[in-house]
Amino acid sequence: MIKKIKVIWTFLRKHFDKAIYRGGWMQFFWLTVFVAFWGALGVWASSRFDVDGWRVIELLLDPGSFCDSDEETCGKANIYFQLIVTLLGAVFFTSLLIGSVGNFLERRIDRYRNGGVAYDVDDHILIIGAGSMLVNLIKSLLEDEANTKRDIVILTSKDAEEVRGHVFSEIPKKYTRNIYVYYGSRVRKDTLNKLDAFQTKAVYLLGEDDEPAHDSINMKCYEALTEVCERSQRTIECYMVLERLTSLQLFYYRQDNVSSGKLRLTVVNSLENVAQRVLVSQSYRDGEMYPTLDRNGIHTDDDKFVHFIIVGMTPMGYAMAITAAHVCHFPNFHSKGLRTKITFVQAGIKQEMNFFLGRYSELMKLSYWEYINLEDPSQCNASYPDARYVSSSPDRKGFLDIEWEFIDGGIEAPEVRDYLEKCAENNDKSELLTIALCGDSPEENASAALFLPEIINEKQIPLFVYQPGGDQMMRIVKYSPRYSHIYPFGMKTDAFDKQYHERMKQARRIMYLYSQDGTIKDMPEGEEEELVESWFNTQYVFQQSNMYAANSIPFKMRSLSVHENKDLSEEDIDLIARTEHNRWNIERLLMGFSPYPLSKRMAFKEVLSSNNHKAKEELAEKLKEAKERRFKHKDIAPYDELLDGSKKYDRTIVKNIFNVSRI
């Protein structure tokens, strides 16, 4: 019996302590239990002291009513009994009630402050993670009036009060009433359910800054979202940010589309996003634009080429180089044989160069590249395209229109400074020079920007300076005439590219052209839902291919000598179609596609241009399977080598370039 009593007593103590600690309704539950217990005990004992049962309840609930008790009329025993009941009421009801209410409110405030309060929401925007894009993303979302009336819920594993303070300090006060911050793990399905993820309008999966396993955690979160959103009654747009370029490359090799039934996934690489904002969208700040690599455009009769020097083979340096390689293709390659030149500069560059050559091996075996050691010229060497893949011609550099340089030396080395001076002297004569300082140290980048050879300042050569921590200090010098050519970029607080969605619309139109084999005169207007549906049924690598094609449109437009309201001449169409195919060659190689040797390409061409329909169909099927499963493509070749059936894709895009680029 004693053992049972001890067990019951222990059980009550444990749950009482938990209830008092947690606060909330459990405190009121225990308060009710106490009042009920003492009330029942008091009513039972009241008959022995000649006190009415309701009088006991009154004294428990309102100890002040004891003033109406009188010893002469009630008797001594009666009055003492009422006093005891009054004291019990004052302790167990009045005091505990006040304490419980105060404690409840205090804990509620703490829970809200710490991001522990979730509300029932619907048709809201869910932002998962408080990464660097957060504030800029919210500002962009609020530019759409419909979103100003929607709830925006932020899920973060950071300090919720700190995140809320940061967001509210940047957002106009009238919009903050619909923004809520919740603290929790983004990989837990119960957390996502609590935030009604299955009822959202859109999900932005940013992740947190400085996470060692950022991309893996985001992918795990996406898998959890996929399960949570299975019961959704609507299709939800999901944008997932990845930090590493390698992570993006892994998506290319998926044979299916990564979107689930209810989630339409769009993958954005943060480094590539920064590079595209600088080189494609050109959006700097306050209406100011980054200068273009091709300035006002390179035309067929120009004697200049783009020269992009990148100091630092860092992840940001890679992203800038690869983005430039995707877009810098010009018609004077066909007329004058001039190639875009991308130069990396770094002390002890060989190891990183070899990594680059291995990572983009399919591209580099068809490219001309040089290793230049300015201190010891005997170590310099040049590599020409693999002879198995190119035809014998006077131009030994092959059929690609981009070449590469790797200069072994720091930006402070006299030999490197001499090299920069020489390039600067040729600016606007034989080349269009742009320099990007992409080192991992923002301080060193800023210092280097101020102490480059004087001719760079005199000729106002565009200088991009990587400043992820913010551009406040660089803006001090930028607004002086001497350094007005300096452009900070990559600021984490301003990382979201607002033109991304417009470029995606253009990419979907390009995909439509590939699928329809014609024009887009009858393309659906408005949201172009037909194109959206088709887009998310397309293998991810081909989605990205169309995005890269869309990114190159501004460069093509600047190369054309006609305006939007005029038709393109057949000469213009042919010239830009050749340029587009050069871009496509580079794009496919950067994405990991392999070319066929020249001998095989010629054999394929002979079969596909023959009248043997059975052989043509069998070969076409094999080539299609090789393209989708083994990433080998027969059209990675010179434009003149293509069959008319392949050329028509390039020509169709060019013919409809104004339709594709419309906003």
* 339-386 per-position pLDDT tens digit: 999 999 999 999 999 999 999 999 999 999 999 999 999 999 999 999
As a dihedral over the C-alpha atoms of residue 161, residue 164, residue 168, residue 169, rounded to 10 degrees, the angle is 60
pLDDT of residue 72: 46
**Of 524, 548, 514, nearest in space to 653 by CA:** 514
pLDDT of residue 73: 45
3-state secondary structure of 432: strand
When pLDDT is cut at 50, 70 and 90, the band that residue 527 belongs to is: low
Give the tens place of pLDDT for each residue, 249-271.
888 877 667 776 789 999 999 99
| Rounded Cα–Cα distance for residues 188 and 206 (Å) | 16
Do 593 and 632 meet the contact criterion of CB atoms below 8 Å apart? yes
Give the tens place of pLDDT for each residue, 483-509.
999 999 999 877 777 788 889 999 999
Q: Which residues have CB under 8 Å from 123's CB, separation 6+?
A: 150, 199, 200, 201
Residue with structure tokens 């983009």?
Answer: 360
Q: Walk across the sheet containing 179-183 and list its strands.
A: 179-183, 152-156, 125-128, 202-205, 236-242, 263-269
Residue 317, pLDDT above cutoff 80: yes
DSSP state letters, 269-311: EHHHHHHHIIIII-EEETTEEPPPTTTT---TT---EEEEEEE
Give percent of the chain with pLDDT exceeding 70: 81
Give the tens place of pLDDT for each residue, 447-481.
999 999 999 999 999 999 999 988 888 888 888 89
Average pLDDT for residues 10-21, to the nearest whole number?
56
Give the tens place of pLDDT for each residue, 33-75.
766 666 666 566 655 555 555 566 666 666 656 565 555 445 4
Do 322 and 279 meet the contact criterion of CB atoms below 8 Å apart? no
Do 460 and 440 meet the contact criterion of CB atoms below 8 Å apart? no
Give the tens place of pLDDT for each residue, 131-150.
988 998 999 899 999 999 99
Which of 120-124, 239-243, 534-538, 635-639 is the least confident region? Answer: 534-538
Task: Collect contacts of 570-573 with beta carbons under 8 A, ≥24 apart.
Answer: 572/654, 573/651, 573/654, 573/655
What are the two backbone dihedrals, phi and then psi, of residue 181, each rounded to the nearest 5 degrees?
-115, 130
Query: SS3 letters for 616-634?
Result: HHHHHHHHHHHHHHCCEEC
3-state secondary structure of 208: coil
Q: How many residues comprise the chain?
A: 663
Do 234 and 158 meet the contact criterion of CB atoms below 8 Å apart? no
What are the two backbone dihedrals, phi and then psi, of residue 381, each rounded to the nearest 5 degrees?
-150, 155
pLDDT of residue 531: 84
Distances (CA, A) of 641 to 369, 408, 576: 24, 37, 16
Average pLDDT for residues 156-166, to the nearest whole number?
94
Whole-number CA gyration radius for the chain? 35
Do 262 and 433 meet the contact criterion of CB atoms below 8 Å apart? no
Query: Computed from CA positions of residues 491, 495, 498, 502, in that sequence, does the dihedral angle turn out positive or negative?
Result: positive
| Rounded Cα–Cα distance for residues 543 and 536 (Å) | 8
Give Cα 178 distance to the centre of its chain: 23
Characterize 239-264 residue by residue with b for buried, 16 or more Cβ atoms within 10 angstroms of its Cβ, and e for exposed. Answer: bbbbbebebbeebbeeeebbbbebbb
Helices (H), 90-188: 96-113, 134-142, 145-148, 160-170, 173-176
Residue 427 per-residue DSSP state:
B
| Rounded Cα–Cα distance for residues 643 and 571 (Å) | 19
Q: In the numeric block, which tokens belong to residue 107?
A: 């804990």
| Rounded Cα–Cα distance for residues 99 and 109 (Å) | 15
Residue with structure tokens 């009941």?
Answer: 85
> At 486, which amino acid appears?
I
pLDDT of residue 560: 87
- Helix pair 245-252, 315-327: axis angle to 10 deg: 50
Strands 431-437 and 594-595 come out as: unpaired
Average pLDDT value for the chain: 87
> At 401, which amino acid appears?
D
What are the two backbone dihedrals, phi and then psi, of residue 346, each rounded to the nearest 5 degrees?
-165, 140
Q: Which residues have CB under 8 Å from 134's CB, separation 6+?
A: 127, 154, 163, 166, 167, 206
What are the two backbone dihedrals, phi and then psi, of residue 177, each rounded to the nearest 5 degrees?
-65, -20
Give the tens place of pLDDT for each residue, 553-607.
999 999 987 666 567 889 999 999 999 999 999 999 999 999 999 999 999 999 9
| Rounded Cα–Cα distance for residues 236 and 652 (Å) | 32
Question: Bridge-partner residues for 402, per DSSP?
Answer: 340
| Rounded Cα–Cα distance for residues 336 and 325 (Å) | 19
Q: Which residue has the higher pLDDT, 643 or 56?
A: 643
Residue 640 CB coordination number (10 Å): 11
pLDDT of residue 63: 62
Q: How far apart are the first and last CA of the chain?
A: 83
> At 263, which amino acid appears?
L
Do 384 and 348 meet the contact criterion of CB atoms below 8 Å apart? no
pLDDT of residue 441: 95
When pLDDT is cut at 50, 70 and 90, the band that residue 541 belongs to is: confident
Give the tens place of pLDDT for each residue, 167-200.
999 999 999 999 999 999 999 999 999 999 999 9
Do 582 and 639 meet the contact criterion of CB atoms below 8 Å apart? yes
> At 358, which amino acid appears?
G
Give the tens place of pLDDT for each residue, 401-434.
999 999 999 999 999 999 999 999 999 999 999 9
Question: Bridge-partner residues for 662, per DSSP?
Answer: none
pLDDT of residue 605: 95
| Rounded Cα–Cα distance for residues 344 and 365 (Å) | 18
| Rounded Cα–Cα distance for residues 561 and 645 (Å) | 27
Q: Is 94 exposed, middle or buried (0-12, 13-18, 19+ CB in 10 A)?
A: middle
Average pLDDT for residues 83-99, to the nearest whole number?
66
> At 447, which amino acid appears?
S
